[in-house]
């Protein structure tokens, strides 16, 4: 039983939530170390964006292995800037806004690199899949942002950003990018629809 003076932890609804809950100690340790080095959270945010620029260029050149490994290295960075700001006692709404915007740019850069590669190969079906994956990924984020701005809870769905990376990165490393892109193209749009229906249910209850 949860004591009356304690608040129960919210049940994780995604892999991102699960990892934040169970990896908090490790993130705090690494974030504290980076703070002691004198790094600013915003510097880490920009470093993550720059890393995605490099990964996009590598993917555009057709080197899926190196591009996938770069994205794998960049993935933990996205969780550390917020952790660093919290440990400093300096979390801000503007910092969260910048983090969200750079996350969207980072993801679109990744898809842009893949799109350039497939266009250069003359692979129209794969190019269409990249477009659908990018569009679905944006809609997953937009449905949450718009829904929460209207006062709804919108954290559900099978393929949040971390899950999209978890699906795509292994397929890049093993040089089967079409498989990962096809999965993201389907599941990201399904997730956006899940969130739409979740908000609709809440709206009907109101």
Active site residues: 103
Half-sphere exposure of 144 (CA within 13 A, CB side): 15
Spell out the residues 6+ positions from residue 197 whose beta carbon is closer than 8 angstroms to its own.
Answer: none
| Ramachandran angles phi, psi of 139, nearest 5° | -70, -35
Report the C-alpha gap between 198 and 194 in whole angstroms: 6
Which residue is it, tokens 């908090």?
A: 24
Burial of 150 (0-12, 13-18, 19+ CB in 10 A): exposed
Sign of CA dihedral 168, 68, 35, 99: negative
């Amino acid at each position: 039983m949860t004591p009356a003076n304690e608040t129960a932890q919210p049940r994780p609804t995604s892999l991102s939530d699960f990892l934040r809950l169970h990896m908090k100690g490790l993130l705090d340790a690494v974030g504290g170390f980076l703070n002691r080095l004198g790094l600013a959270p915003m510097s880490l945010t920009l470093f993550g964006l720059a890393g995605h620029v490099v990964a996009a260029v590598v993917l555009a050149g057709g080197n899926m292995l190196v591009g996938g490994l770069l994205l794998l290295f960049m993935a933990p960075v996205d969780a550390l800037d917020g952790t660093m700001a919290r440990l400093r006692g300096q979390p801000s709404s503007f910092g969260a806004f910048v983090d969200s915007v750079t996350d969207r740019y980072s993801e679109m850069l990744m898809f842009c690199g893949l799109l350039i590669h497939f266009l250069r190969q003359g692979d129209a079906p794969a190019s269409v899949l990249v477009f659908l994956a990018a569009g679905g990924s944006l809609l997953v984020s937009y449905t949450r942002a718009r829904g929460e701005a209207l006062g709804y809870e919108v954290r559900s769905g099978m393929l949040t950003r971390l899950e999209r990376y978890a699906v795509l990165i292994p397929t890049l490393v093993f040089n089967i990018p079409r498989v990962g892109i096809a999965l993201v193209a389907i599941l990201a749009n399904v997730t956006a629809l899940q969130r739409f229906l979740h908000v609709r249910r809440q709206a009907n209850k109101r």
